[in-house]
Chains A and B, each alone.
Chain A
Amino acid sequence: MADLEGIAENVIRGQAPKVKALVEEAIAENVNAGDILREGLIKGMGVVGEKFKNNEFYVPEVLIAARAMKMGMELVRPLLADAGVEPVGKIALGTVKGDLHDIGKNLVGMMLEGAGFEVVDLGIDVSPEQFISSITEHEVQVIAMSALLTTTMPSMKTTIDAISEAGLRDNVKVLIGGAPVTQKYADEIGADGYARDAASGADQAKVLVGVA
């Protein structure tokens, strides 16, 4: 019997090889790929996010959980289309121009994937033009920006302004975060959402694409 509960459990514990074995088993038993994703992988990462929010988990625990989740995801992904499972949404994620801090951004990416999003990771030091290209090239619904420096935060505003100038502001929602960023700042620059941590970021993203 496929053990979806076990998949979730082993994602939480960061046991990548066990997740892999259990997902393989489930696939072999013809379990619906969408169920493996939702009841196993996403469910596990959801718990990880909660534990992270509550300081029960720290960054290393999230990293090994995400690694386990990805291992399962790789096996499931090719089957999702056939099973008629669409990603919850598509998001472009990057650290803004002039800023190289990516630990937080990467965690956000993991949580987004763990919540069922397709994530286009633009990396660090991402210019407004690169964010804009992601809207036209990848047709993302959300742009997620991370900034860790008070001196690079203004680039979030520059990017939002550039998106408006390109006439694309109605095509995307903008989500921002990072240590110096606040809800107040998000309101000031006209971002659509802000979250203080990676797990809340994934929750916010769901709200923005209207699935929460």
Chain B
Amino acid sequence: MTHRERWVRVMHFQPVDHIPDEEFGAWNENFPVWQEQGLPKDVNNNSDFDRYFQFAPRSGIPANVGLSHGFKSEVLEDTDQYRIYIDGNGVKQQVFKDGSSSIPHYLEFPLKDRKSWEELFLPRLEIELESRYPENRSDWEQIKARYSDPGWSIPVGITIGSLFGWIRNWAGFEGVSMLCYDDPDLVKEMVSHLAALISKVIHRAVHEIKIDYAAGWEDIAFNHGPILSPKMFREFVTPNYRRIADTIREANPDAVIYTDCDGNINDLIEPWLEGGINGLFPVESAAGSDPIAIRKKYGDRVVMLGGVNKRALIAGKEAIKEELERIKPYVDEGGWIPHVDHRVPPDVTFENYVYYLHLKREMFGIPHPEEFESRPEIKAIKAKWKGVL
């Protein structure tokens, strides 16, 4: 069974030899910390991370559904104490140079009203294909041929960006909240424009290449639930997801469409389903999105990627084992690729992560990758566990 077949079968609740070996990566802060704990010095980012642990890959179709060209990054003020600049999203921000902090302070968001939407954003969101696909037609033909080869063994997907999330990034959270009340027609128009653009761009790709999944993001929930009401989400966003989903499913009725949303998403699942989104990622257990409760409530209407409580990895081996045992019967039903419910934070030790991965591979029959197992630091860690395993 190839990784691609396995991925597709799991997502359709069909039997497999084992679940796909996927994980969501770590914070950037983890690399220096873990290097102190045994991770080799040349593992410095999430692509190194995936290669090091030998996770299963994905293949993405290069079609840009976002801004066709970013804002010009520009320094507006540069003093001894601070620098004020505009980034690629048009957001004005300030960083301090006194060494007290490296985090930017947001000063101003570019999307404020109809005028700024029309002047700054519409020209970057023109509904055309030219600038959104590889420049050379032959590059595209090559990608098409590669992904359409029946022997292609990696899951093929496309990104569908974001509807509300993008507007939030451009207007700021408070800005978009006010707009929803001050100029609801504008918000509807913007979301609908994004949906039209995204549908148009992916239409070609999904008709020319058979995709296994489409992935978007929203990030509009926090620990107590959605940031905006499900009612408002239904009114402004759901019908527009429907358009995108229809474009995809008209080409491949079986495609999984999932969205990335942290936090407590329980009240958003229904509106997403109404809009044709049937996949959840990363199912942040720690924030109240319990994957088992979701499974019990929605059955096979919803597939999940993620859902392993990161707090168990912080707590230690006992908790990791308990957490994996808790989810196992449900993962075995299919429709769920378990991995940590967000990027692994630096308060998880390298050893705990290796333990988690070992146990997960063991419990779900995932073959232990040879190269990884033969690494001296991994052997050293595992030697310590004699008796525990």
Whole-angstrom CA separation of A67 from B174 in the bound complex:
11
Instruction: Tell me if A60 and B180 are in contact (CB < 8 A).
Output: yes
Known: A150-B345, A151-B347, A197-B224. A59 touches B101 (CB 8 A): no
Q: Which residues of B contact A179 (CB under 8 A)?
A: 222-223, 287
Q: Which residues of B contact A64 (CB under 8 A)?
A: 177-178, 181
Min Cβ gap A53→B in Å is 9
Whole-angstrom CA separation of A200 from B85 in the bound complex:
37
The digit string for B196-224, where 1 denotes a CB below 8 A from any CB of A, is 00000000000000000000000000111
Q: Which of A120-178 contact B (CB under 8 A)?
A: 123-125, 127, 150-151
Kindly specify which of A18-26, A34-42, A98-106 makes contact with the partner chain.
Answer: A98-106
Instruction: Tell me if A63 and B178 are in contact (CB < 8 A).
Output: yes
Q: Which residues of B contact A70 (CB under 8 A)?
A: none
Q: Which residues of A contact B232 (CB under 8 A)?
A: 58, 60
Q: Which of A60, A104, A124 is the one whose CB lies under 8 Å from B177?
A: A60
Instruction: Tell me if A100 and B173 are in contact (CB < 8 A).
Output: no
Q: For the side of the interface on A, what is the size category?
A: 20 to 34
Q: Which residues of A contact B225 (CB under 8 A)?
A: 55, 58
Min Cβ gap A155→B in Å is 11
Instruction: Tell me if B103 and A60 are in contact (CB < 8 A).
Output: no
Whole-angstrom CA separation of A151 from B345 in the bound complex:
9
Q: Which of B29, B174, B181 is the one whose CB lies under 8 Å from A151?
A: B29
- The answer, yes or no, to whether A43 is at the interface (CB within 8 Å) is no
Q: Which of A14, A58, A106, A151 is the one whose CB lies under 8 Å from B226?
A: A58
Known: A60-B177, A151-B29, A151-B347. A55 touches B105 (CB 8 A): no
Known: A58-B232, A103-B173, A197-B224. A14 touches B101 (CB 8 A): no
Min Cβ gap B99→A in Å is 12
Instruction: Tell me if B178 and A123 are in contact (CB < 8 A).
Output: no
Min Cβ gap B128→A in Å is 33
**Shortest Cβ distance from A197 into B: residue:** B224
Whole-angstrom CA separation of A179 from B227 in the bound complex:
13
**Shortest Cβ distance from B225 into A: residue:** A55
Whole-angstrom CA separation of A150 from B27 in the bound complex:
12
Q: Which residues of A contact B104 (CB under 8 A)?
A: 100
**Shortest Cβ distance from B103 into A: residue:** A100
The digit string for A10-35, where 1 denotes a CB below 8 A from any CB of B, is 00001000000000000000000000
Residues of A within 8 A of B (CB): 14, 55, 58-61, 63-64, 67, 97-100, 103-104, 106, 123-125, 127, 150-151, 179, 196-197
What are 10 A-B interface contacts by the 8 Å CB criterion?
A58-B225, A58-B226, A59-B177, A60-B178, A60-B181, A64-B181, A99-B103, A104-B222, A125-B103, A125-B105
* Closest 6 A/B residue pairs (Cβ): A60-B177, A58-B229, A179-B223, A63-B177, A59-B227, A64-B181
